[in-house]
Structure formats: C-alpha cells, structure tokens
Amino acid sequence: MSGVTVHHGTTGRPRLAIRAGLLDEGGDLIDALTPYVDWVPGPAADGCLHEEDVRRLRDPAPREAFLERVFAHARLRTLLEGDWLPRDLVAFHARHKMQLLAHDPVLYREAGRVVAAAGTRPRGEVAAEYTAVFQRALAAPVTVGRNVNVLQHCLGMLGLDPARRAQALRAIDAYQAGRVPLGEAAASLRRHATGESGGYVRDQTYFAPFPDGLRGDLSPGRR
C-alpha cells in the first residue's frame, strides 16, 4: 500500500501524510481533503491508523469507507486526549451506536461492556481497550443487511404517523432492493427525525460520519 497515512491530533481534524512521490498523482484528492484535514510530515504519522493507496481512494466506495474510519478515530482521539469522565465515554458510545452496529453488532456490544465498566477501572486501561475494540469494529465491512437493520431500528424510535412511516419504509425497502443508494435512504429517514423525539436519531454519527463536502465526485470542477 502506498499513499495516505493517518494519525490524529487534538482538534478533531484528522492529520494525514502523503508520500512525496504521489503528490502529483493525488493532487486533486489532496485539494478536496485540505479544508477538512491537516497535512503533516510523514514522521508525525507515527502510530497511524492505517495506510491507504491513493489510487484506490479515487473510487467513491473505498474512499468513503476510509474517510468514515479517519473521522471516527479523530473524534475518539479528541475525546480521550481531553480530561474525559466515564459519562463522556458513555455519550460518545451512544452517538456512535448505529455506526458501530452497521459494522459489527458483536463488537458494538463488546465496546459497550468496556464503557459500562469505565467508572471502576483506570482511565488509561479503559481508553486503550475501548480504542482497540472501536478500531476492530470500524474495520469490519458494512453490509446491506446490517444497514437495513440500523435504518429500521432508527425508524422504530421515531414514532411516526402511518403515512410518514410508510414513506420511510419505502425508502428503506428501495435501498434493500438496490434501487437507491444508502445515502438516499438514510437522508429520507433523517428528514423524519424531527422534534424532541428525533433528537437521538439526528445526533447519530451514522448519518454524518464525515463532512458532506467529501461525498461524491471529488475531481476538479465537480465539487
């Protein structure tokens, strides 16, 4: 693998390093990412999450999977480098519930057990264990079935009237059948997450895992 390497600072912005020989090849991608990330020298990426091939990142699916992990880990690092309390980790885990469930429900529950014990164990030990499980969960590929389960779970929390519920279900069914992309089904559901009852769903990182400006075609003239 050659190209982009990742590590994270304290601001919530991912920090990326790119090999000098690939600067020209990845130029348009670098331009697209620059408003949202910090570029650092290679040595500053020690302890990086993983390395990704710039050429692969030109394809939307692997790029969005990469960005999802990059921004999720930046959020976690921001939390853990601060003066966090167990309740802060509880809130973080709750906001990432649907995102983790879409990747690996078993590891989501394992991470939950770490969170539940956070008040009785040393902070450093909890942080290290939660980070490890969080990384493993996000490394697992999402599936259509798990995405459908997440969308249906969110729908069940909204208490919609029959007409709006039917509309949301049609969007989920269309995604499951391959007629629309996940983003369209998720956006449809999130539009229904209004009022106080929809706050939990609206706050889920699943619906906005990275900035909207990094979705779709990132080539010059298309952003």
Residue 87: φ, ψ to 5°:
-65, -30
52 domain-assigned: yes
171 domain-assigned: yes
Render pLDDT for 179-213 as a digit per residue (tens, 0 to 9).
999 999 999 999 998 877 789 999 999 999 998 88
Choose between 215 and 162: higher pLDDT.
162
pTM metric for this prediction: 0.83
Residue at which a domain ends, from 44, 59, 74 = 59
127 domain-assigned: no
Tokens of 66: 């990469």
**Crossing angle of helices 123-139 and 86-95, rounded to 10°:** 10
CB atoms within 10 A of CB 113: 11
pLDDT at residue 159, rounded to an integer: 87
217 domain-assigned: no
Residue at which a domain ends, from 35, 59, 83 = 59
Rounded to an integer, the average pLDDT of 168-174 is 96
Contacts of 110 (CB under 8 A, 6+ apart): 133
Give how far Cα 22 sits from Cα of 29, 66, 132, 162, Å. Answer: 11, 18, 30, 53
Render pLDDT for 78-120 as a digit per residue (tens, 0 to 9).
899 899 999 999 999 999 999 999 999 999 999 999 999 999 9
Tokens of 127: 């942080």
218 domain-assigned: no
> Which range of residues forms the domain containing residue 38?
1-59
Distance, CA of 137 to CA of 111 (rounded, Å): 9
101 domain-assigned: no
Residue 136: φ, ψ to 5°:
-65, -40
| 198 alpha carbon, distance to own chain's centre | 20
Render pLDDT for 4-39 as a digit per residue (tens, 0 to 9).
444 433 356 776 766 655 544 555 677 777 777 766
Residue 62: φ, ψ to 5°:
-65, -30
Q: Contact 214/67 with Cβ under 8 angstroms?
A: yes
85 domain-assigned: no
Average pLDDT, rounded, for the chain: 83
Torsion angle of alpha carbons 201, 202, 205, 211, nearest 10°? 160
From the number of C-beta atoms within 10 Å of its C-beta (0-12, 13-18, 19+), residue 80 rates as buried
